[in-house]
Structure 1
Amino acid sequence: MTYNDVFTLGETMVVFQPDQYTPLDYVHTLPKKIGGAESNVAIGLARLGHQVGWFSQVGADPFGRFVLKTIRGEGVDVSTCQTTMDAPTGLLFKEQLSPEDVNVYYYRNQSAASQMKPEQLQESAIANAKVLHVTGITPALSESAYETVMKAIEIAKAHDVLVTFDPNLRLKLWSEERAKAVLKEIAEHADVILPGVDEGEFLTGETEAEAIVKALDPQGVKTIIVKLGEQGAYYSANGQQGIVTGFSVKQVVDPVGAGDGFAAGVISGLLRGEPIEEVVTRANAIGAMVVGMKGDIEGLPTDEAVSQFLTTGNEQRDVKR
């Protein structure tokens, strides 16, 4: 049994993304990649030097094999993953008309990952981790996927494993009513919450970061970091609150995956025991680095690259308390 710093679970799809800014109906060549919020975070953490385990279910098809080979090749433990002949691996087509104008088309209905079940989880893989990372995407896939996420959280809480949660709101997958109920339920159990300001507004009705934090955590016992885009992030942790401004980006090439890079940066900083301002700074830096490269995982940096970025971009760092 491998003992990992972090365990996560979710669907990873095969991503077809053209190299040019062109409507998909005029594209004739589609390179094959992978993409999935949780595996993005897992790969990001592995590149930062952490041991990470990822659970999912893929189809017994070439796409499923491609997903497992790719994630395993990035140094992530996929030994608990399941393969099924009863459903296909999910697919995603990404259309990018400009750096900021991205359309995503999912072919994941009744996918293999949507049919994952709680009994497929290996309890020891979660119990022996330091962090369980979950998002709001997986519980939206199906009732059994929701039950699997909740079971993972139950195991984590029983073994004092830190639970980190990125809401990752995807209203294409479920109704607003169901999304709000489930995301709030997960937030109640999470120790660390990483909403974007729009997700915070969706969950609480508040528009300001400080008010969002108070609504999500009236007792002030959680770590909450609200992503503010290019402005940086607002944090509340251990009685401290403040804003860490972001890093300027010369050119946004592909914004998809920046939030996953941010989450990897937060989790990495927490595992290192860094002060909260440094945790958020690291996360901001990784988010800025990710948007400079096309693809979900291609821009995720190594620890050495992050250190170099922080050194060269240190004059842009601004911590406000």
Structure 2
Amino acid sequence: MTYDHQETGGPAGETPEVVTFGESMGLMMPTGAKGIEYSAAFEKSFAGAESNVAIGLARLGHRAGWFGHLGDDPLGRYTLKQIRGEGVDVSRARLVAGVPTGLIIREVVSGKSSVYYYRRHSAASLMRPEHLDEAYIAGAKLLHVTGITPALSETCRETVREAVRLARKHGVKVCFDPNLRLKLWSAAEARPFLLGLAEEADYFLPGLDELQLLYETDRFDDVIDRLRRLKAVSIVKGGGDRTYVVEGETVTEVPYFKAEKVVDTVGAGDGFCAGFIAGLLRRLPHAEAVRLGNLIGSMVVQAAGDWEGLPTWEQAQAAMNNERHVER
């Protein structure tokens, strides 16, 4: 296999405010109401938690960089062009010859969403610590990582660990979304690594259901008590109709924004992360940054697709201010 370094991305001389990395994959979905087995037509797109966050930040007016490995194949080239086209810096992304881009096929049947992954031995699973650009990470204000990348392979695990080490070395804040994927590894396998990353993070963004699995308890008070021991500001998603901000002994509740119509819940968490990080970059208080994250998440679920519903800053502001849409 060979590695082709892509010298592409954002405007020359502009360092991303936020750097993130991981696996982006080709995405196929049946175009109609039929499931995969009975559908003859599929819609092509791409998906990836980290690239979703980068696209969300770019649309909200921030400089975001995403890197990872894609196969030097039609899906890889398509995905790289799409991410670049959204204004994300992909100058450290690589197309790798001889190995495939991962693929995800998603269907919704009788209101239930099912996902099928084809990512074993993908280009992304071959990422290694030596592929990291220390100066690129050092130049950012914040590094965003998820628990998906370390689940791909042992070398990916080492790469995430090293990226966090480099960020801490250079005073770059670390934002960590555990994004636990039980189709990739079990809770028992994931627990020590993800909880270790939580101890290193400045911002920890788990879902309540993830915390119950990681901490092995259903008791809300026990979960909060564990979070209080972290140095991170913890943002707990999925707590009924509110998000919790745990900062030392203080717990703040931030209500959700009600979605007028839920079309597709996939990507809501990534939208939340993008909104929250945008709030941090705009120096909003943590509760206000969470409020912005809640808003972006509610907007994402009202559109189909993993990233297509991510709003621009102007659209987010209009929604925040309840501005009436003028059609013509």
TM over 0.5: yes
1:241 corresponds in structure 2 to: 251
- Measure how far apart 1:101 and its partner are: 1.3
1:49 aligns with 2:37: no
- Structure 2 alignment gaps of length 5 or more: 1-12, 324-328
- Which residue type is aligned with residue 19 of structure 1? T
Distance (Å, rounded) in 2 between the aligned partners of 1:118 and 1:86? 20
Is 1:281 the counterpart of 2:291 in the alignment?
yes
Q: Measure how far apart 1:229 and its partner are.
A: 5.7
For the pair 1:70 / 2:82, whether they are aligned, the reply is: yes
Cα deviation, residue 143, structure 1: 0.5
Does 204-213 or 251-260 show the bigger shift? 204-213
Structure 1 residues 102-181: aligned runs within 5 Å: 102-181=113-192
Asked if residue 226 in structure 1 is aligned to residue 236 in structure 2, the reply is yes
Q: Does residue 92 of structure 1 match 2:104?
A: yes
Equivalence for 2:317: 307
User: Are 2:225 and 1:214 equivalent residues in the alignment?
Assistant: yes
Can you list the C-alpha shifts for 1:196-235, whole angstroms capped at 9, x where unaligned? 110111111343555423303415x321110026602011
Aligned length: 311
Aligned-pair identity (%): 49
- Paired residue secondary structure (1:45): helix
1:7 match: secondary structure? strand
Deviation, 1:238, is: 6.4
Unmatched segments (≥5 aa) in structure 1: 314-321
Post-superposition offset of 1:137 = 0.2
Cα distance change of structure 1 residues 304 and 208 upon mapping to structure 2, 3 Å threshold: farther
Q: Secondary structure at the match of 2:42?
A: coil
Deviations 1:185-205 (CA, angstroms, capped at 9, x unpaired): 111111101111101111113
Contact 2:228–2:246 (Cα < 8 Å) also in 1: no
What CA deviation, in whole Å up to 9, does each residue of 1:33-68 have, x standing for no partner? 010000000000000001011110011111110011
Following superposition, which runs of at least 4 residues in structure 1 exceed 4 angstroms of deviation? none
Q: Secondary structure at the match of 2:51?
A: helix
Identify if the C-alpha distance between structure 1 residues 169 and 158 changes in structure 2 by more than 3 Å, giving closer, same or farther: same
Matching residue of 1:316? none
Aligned with residue 196 of structure 2, among 172, 185, 190:
185
Q: Structure 1 residue 239: deviation in Å?
A: 5.6
> For residue 89 of structure 1, what is the amino acid of its counterpart?
T
Alignment of 1:7-18 (within 5 A): 7-18=19-30
- Residues 238-261 of structure 1: CA deviation (Å, up to 9, x unaligned): 664211111222321111000000
Structure 1 residue 312: deviation in Å? Answer: 1.4
Q: TM-score, normalised by structure 2?
A: 0.91
Task: Mark the CA change 1:230 to 1:301 in structure 2 (over 3 Å): closer, same or farther.
Answer: farther
C-alpha contact (below 8 Å) 2:198/2:232 kept by paired residues:
no
Alignment partner of 2:215 out of 204, 207, 210: 204
CA distance in 1, matches of 2:153, 2:77: 23
Once the two structures are TM-superposed, the CA of residue 20 in structure 1 deviates from its matched residue by 2.5
Residue in structure 2 matched with residue 61 of structure 1 by the alignment: 73
- State the SS of the aligned residue for 1:93: strand
SS of corresponding position for 1:17: strand
| Among 255, 259, 265, the residue aligned to 2:269 | 259
Does the 8 A contact of 1:230 with 1:247 survive in 2? no
Task: Give yes or no for contact 2:228–2:249 (8 Å, CA) kept in 1.
Answer: no
User: Contact (CA 8 Å) 2:177, 2:205: kept in 1 or not?
Assistant: yes
**Do the aligned partners of 1:213 and 1:224 also contact (CA within 8 Å) in 2?**
no
**Cα distance between partner residues in 2 of 1:38 and 1:3:** 18
The alpha-carbon distance between structure 1 residues 308 and 196, as it changes in their structure 2 partners (threshold 3 A), is same
Contact between 1:252 and 1:291, CA under 8 Å: does it hold in 2?
yes
Name the structure 2 match of 1:6: 18
Letter in 2 for 1:119: E
Secondary structure at 1:307's aligned position in 2?
helix
Output the CA distance in 2 between the equivalents of 1:20 and 1:164. 37
Classify 1:211/1:305 alpha carbon distance in 2 versus 1 (closer, same or farther; 3 Å).
Answer: farther
State how far apart, in whole Å, the 1-side matches of 2:87 and 2:152 are: 26
